[in-house]
Amino acid sequence: MQRRRFVVAVGMCGLLALTANPLLAADWSDQAARFLTLQDVSVRYALLGSVLLGLGCGLLGGFVVVRRMALVGDALSHAVLPGVALGFLWNMTKDPLAIFVGATVAGLLGTALVGALTRTTRLKEDAALGLVLATFFAAGMCLVTMIQRLPTGNKSGIDKFLFGQAAALGADDLALMAVVTAAVLGLVIAFYKELLVTSFDPGFARSSGVPARWIHHGLMLLLAAAVVTALQAVGVVLVSALLITPAAAAYLLTDRLHRLLLLASLFGVLAGVLGAFVSFLRPGLPTGPLMVVAASTVFTGAFLFGPRHGVLARWWRQRSGTARMRRENTLKAMFHVLEADETGGEALSVLSLAGRRKETETEALRQVDELVRHGLATREGDTLYFTPAGRRRAGEIVRNHRLWELYLTQSANIAPDHVHDDAERIEHVLGEQVVRDLERRLNYAKVDPHGKAIPGPREIHRGDDGGRER
């Protein structure tokens, strides 16, 4: 539910932010109405192309991210440029099929060359990727320059493959995009299990009879095809961003591959729609870069506000965890004061707590007020009492501490005077199952290495009848 709300919120905020931008045309409402009603053929082509690209690139980008192949995708996107130029030179026209074949072959040749350099030389993969990327891109730029110097070179439109021009998409381009996207979707669904296991554990996949090598080659073929179809819309320079950014945003929101793929596809489609929308509102702004900007906006939202891996969520958990540990340390100190009271009373003074904590009475009062707000203690003047919940948690913390000290001395042969600091850290995170295992391993010991009693169930749950401990 949190992820669903996040997706909706990011989409709405992105749309509002973009439509409110002062760079947009003054008659943006009329333009928006024309876009939403799909009156223009160019709008329909650009929108459909952007959606297909967002879906295909987002889906493949999920595997690129989880397989740590981001640099491979970047190298592949630059390696296809000479193939684009050669495809144009084949019949001197911007034939989508010829360019597709040429670019795909060039991309696969580039990735194969990276593998060969890695296997046969001392070069690491990153160096091989950088070498191939630079070489192929430079060769492609030389070929594009040669084409533009031809008599009809300026009218060829081959330069649009550098930065993209979604408005120039035609019916043939859309047909090719639809075929590639359908192939990507179908093959991912058909071979999802194989892609899953080879993405996270290639060794297990090979031992289980899964053709990991062929799966990898097939994925690279799909990736090359998706990159080539995206060139017309976003260009060689930005196609890798369209592959990686939506998937990276999804990666920050989930730990399950199927959810990652769904979110990456959704973010890719959202980026495509927003890019086409804003580009239509402001004709001077290109669709491809706007798609990448929209995807980057979604990533920024996931980076900041992700419910689990977002910066703010991690900060809040860290802050909450520190506050919880501080409260539990105060509860433990109250337990120790009462434990040392030979009269067996259930009340203690703020002054005695401050002495145990080695802090001022004002600081102790601040911690006590925190316990009171959380229902862990009550205070009457300078006198403190446990609530049943406070007593129970204090007993658990002390039990965890002393069990861990005993475990370290008996199982790890660590001296008793060297186990306190480690127990101080671990006492707050031990789960009940681990505690039960420790108790069983230690034969339900009653005392710790220092001769202090380990609280048992009776001591921990004392006062659970609902009354205040007095």
| pLDDT greater than 80 at residue 418 | yes
| pLDDT greater than 70 at residue 22 | no
| pLDDT greater than 60 at residue 277 | yes
**Whole-number CA gyration radius for the chain:** 32
Which of 289, 309, 329 is a domain's end point?
309
Average pLDDT over residues 242-251: 89
266 shares its domain with 321: no
| pLDDT greater than 80 at residue 192 | yes
Q: Is residue 340 part of a domain?
A: yes
Residue 181 carries which side chain, given as an amino acid letter?
Answer: T
172 shares its domain with 224: yes
286 shares its domain with 419: no
157 shares its domain with 276: yes
| pLDDT greater than 70 at residue 467 | no
Task: For residue 242, give the nearest of 42, 102, 76 by alpha carbon.
Answer: 76
Q: Collapsing DSSP states into helix, strand and coil, what is residue 412? A: coil
Distance between CA atoms of 349 and 338, rounded to whole angstroms?
10
Q: Is residue 23 part of a domain?
A: no
204 shares its domain with 231: yes
Domain containing 367 equals 316-460
Domain count, the chain: 2
Which of 309, 342, 367 is a domain's end point?
309
135 shares its domain with 261: yes
Average pLDDT score over the chain: 80
**Phi/psi of residue 165, each to 5°?**
-155, 90
**Phi/psi of residue 49, each to 5°?**
-60, -40
In DSSP notation, 334-369 reads HHHHHHH-TT--SEEEHHHHHHHHTS-HHHHHHHHH
Task: Return the pLDDT at 401.
Answer: 92
- Comparing 23-32, 209-218, 220-229, the range with the smallest average pLDDT is 23-32
Q: Is residue 196 part of a domain?
A: yes
- Between vectors from CA 431 to CA 423 and to CA 394, what angle results, nearest 5°? 60
301 shares its domain with 370: no
**Phi/psi of residue 348, each to 5°?**
-140, 160
Cβ within 8 Å of residue 363, ≥6 positions away: 354, 357
Q: Residue 426 is encoded by which pair of tokens?
A: 């671990």
The DSSP bridge partners found for residue 386 are 377
Contact, 234 vs 291, CB < 8 A? yes
pLDDT in tens, 29-66: 777 777 777 777 777 777 888 788 888 888 888 888 88
Q: Is residue 209 part of a domain?
A: yes
Q: Is residue 93 part of a domain?
A: yes
84 shares its domain with 207: yes
**What is the pLDDT confidence band of residue 281, given thresholds at 50, 70 and 90?**
confident
**What is the pLDDT confidence band of residue 27, given thresholds at 50, 70 and 90?**
low
423 shares its domain with 367: yes
Q: Is residue 157 part of a domain?
A: yes
| pLDDT greater than 60 at residue 293 | yes
Q: Is residue 20 part of a domain?
A: no
369 shares its domain with 242: no
CA dihedral 127, 129, 134, 136 (to 10 degrees): 140
Q: Is residue 29 part of a domain?
A: no
* CATH code: domain of residue 434: 1.10.10.10
Cβ within 8 Å of residue 390, ≥6 positions away: 331, 334, 371, 375, 376, 377
242 shares its domain with 334: no
* CATH code: domain of residue 190: 1.10.3470.10
| pLDDT greater than 50 at residue 16 | no
Conformational region of residue 463, where left means phi above 0, alpha means psi within -120 to 50, and beta covers everything else: left
pLDDT in tens, 252-269: 998 888 899 999 989 988
Contact, 303 vs 311, CB < 8 A? yes
Distance in angstroms between the alpha carbons of the first and the last residue of the chain:
44
Residue 38 carries which side chain, given as an amino acid letter?
Answer: L
Cβ within 8 Å of residue 245, ≥6 positions away: 61, 267, 271, 292, 295, 296, 298, 299
Cα-to-chain-centroid distance, residue 408: 37
User: E strand or H helix at 284, and its extent?
Assistant: none
pLDDT in tens, 132-191: 888 888 888 888 788 777 766 555 566 666 666 666 677 777 888 888 888 888 888 888
142 shares its domain with 282: yes
Distance between CA atoms of 102 and 146, rounded to whole angstroms?
17
Which of 266, 291, 309 is a domain's end point?
309
Task: Return the pLDDT at 404.
Answer: 92
